[in-house]
Amino acid sequence: MNHSTHALPAATLNIQNYIIEQFEQARARRTSTLSLTANENVLSETARTLGQNRHYDRYLFNAQTTAGHRYAADFNGMQVEHFPEVEKLKALGTQAVRSMFNAEFVEYRVLSGVHCTLSVLAALTEPGKTVLSLSPGSGGHFATGPLVQKIGRHSLFFRLRIDGQIDLADFDKQLQALGYQPSAVLLDHGLTTRAIPVKPLRDLLNRHGYHQTLIIYDASHTLGLIAGQAFANPLDEGADILQGNTHKSLPGPHRALIVCRRADLARQIEQNVSAALVSSPNLPGLLQLFVTLVEMERYGQAYAQRMCANARQLRNALADLPGWTVPPTDTHLLLLESALSSHAAQQLNELGIRVNNKRINGRDCLRFGVQEITRLGITNEDLDALADILRNVLTGGTNGTERICLTHICHRLNRIHYSFDQEPCR
């Protein structure tokens, strides 16, 4: 249970004023804060406005329209409201997904990355079966192993080599030791600075005769890059499922997507979600997701290319940082390895640069993501200035001007790029 250590106002004070004042006081801080966290992004105002209005704070069931009616639908024998305008927007979003991922089937109703994984594994694997997933020590999601066990499957981890690739020889030994076909292999990498080819893994499974083992690729961090054709599409290389949350390199709301090309898998997922895991999928967030997908169809390639270019520029500016190892990157993510990463993350967060630190293969690192500052239109000049701030903080060479410089950068990042916001509205 949650508990608070913050003092609350006396009962005689106006609680409404108290709530408003807390966030008004924080507004200046928030507008002069820059996010380099890898797990967040910013919605366009077009998407945000569509989702944030009282007319769509409503249930949206997976219902069938009643014959001869526009606004009446049937859901499990119950008459409910139908939203034809939502269906039109959904059709645009579905068209965008099919175009960007070259996949026919998409499930929108999953509410987060973990809910996405739960839904896929519950639908496509059976209790008692084995699921292999990426070890948290190699960048796998911390919740995957416990989730697999909680739903009655057997969880095993595999690791990546020091170069970030699957250790196929070690994986082969695991399969031999297991002695039977696993139900699924889940790739859920949270520190993806280079692609992990799926085809060699698929070929290895096939050599063992494990043609039915599903490869589930969680692209939560790289979904926007795949959509923008700056990162290989795992479905092209033999993955059966492409999934991920939609608020990282894909700049949407806190939700998730499941995409596949096989009708049988899509049918099992749809039936499982409908029967057990979702009643109403949170209509405001769904509207925001549809808008974001259509925006990405139009602007995604330019956005993805710019994300990768910004990450390379920042990496090059920090490559010779004393006391830090900064590996090259092919994505929007940047890892800065050092035993000082935890302390550095504290310093940067206090300064106003939002970051987090992680561990990979036993090494401490800062994990930067440039997806949000890219969507906010950061220039090469401001990126160089940001690199100077980071260099000063990470080497202990601060001179007191970093906060002022950071505020100037933040105030220039005041518009959402690669979105419908930049287009005139009739």
Q: For 293-347, how does the pLDDT look when each residue is reduced to its tens digit (9 = 90+)?
A: 999 999 999 999 999 999 999 999 999 999 999 999 999 999 999 999 999 999 9
Is 238 among the domain residues?
A: yes
Question: Domain of 380?
Answer: 34-43+297-422
Q: Tell me, what CATH number does 394's domain have?
A: 3.90.1150.10
CATH of residue 158's domain is 3.40.640.10
305, 229: one domain: no
* Residues 96, 193 share a domain: yes
**Number of independent structural domains in the chain:** 2
C-beta atoms surrounding 198 within 10 Å: 22
Domain-located, residue 17:
no
How many angstroms separate the CA atoms of 390 and 377, rounded?
19
Residue 276 lies in a domain: yes
Q: pLDDT tens digits for 41-99?
A: 999 999 999 988 889 999 998 888 888 889 999 988 889 999 999 999 999 999 999 99
Domain endpoint, select from 296, 312, 347: 296
**Residue 21 within any structural domain of the chain:** no
Query: DSSP secondary structure string, 16-36?
Result: HHHHHHHHHHHHHHHHT-EE-
334 lies in a domain? yes
Whole-model pTM?
A: 0.94
In this structure, the answer to whether residues 200 and 315 fall within a common structural domain is no
**Is residue 26 situated within a structural domain?**
no
Query: Percent of the chain, pLDDT > 90?
Result: 82
28, part of any domain = no
Question: Whole-angstrom Cα distance, residue 298 to residue 283?
Answer: 23
Residue at a domain's end among 240, 274, 296 = 296
User: Does 130 have pLDDT greater than 80?
Assistant: yes
Do 101 and 163 lie in one domain? The reply is yes
Cβ distance 159 to 137 under 8 Å?
A: yes
**pLDDT confidence of residue 398:** 85
Co-location of 79 and 165 in the same domain: yes
Has residue 11 got a pLDDT over 70? Answer: no
Q: Do both 273 and 329 map to the same domain?
A: no
Q: What's the confidence (pLDDT) of residue 9?
A: 61
User: Would you say residue 355 lies in a domain?
Assistant: yes
Q: Where is the domain boundary, 296, 324, 356?
A: 296
Both 283 and 309 in one domain: the answer is no
Residues 375, 303, single domain; the answer is yes
Same domain for 304 and 248? no
283-315 residues labelled b (16+ CB within 10 A) or e (exposed): bbbbbbbbbbbbbbbebbbebbebbbbbbbbbb
Domain shared by 188 and 261, yes or no = yes
Tell me which residue of 361, 355, 375 sits closest to 418, measured CA to CA.
Answer: 375
pLDDT for the residue numbered 5? 66
Residues 133 and 121 in one domain: yes
**282 and 403 inside one domain:** no
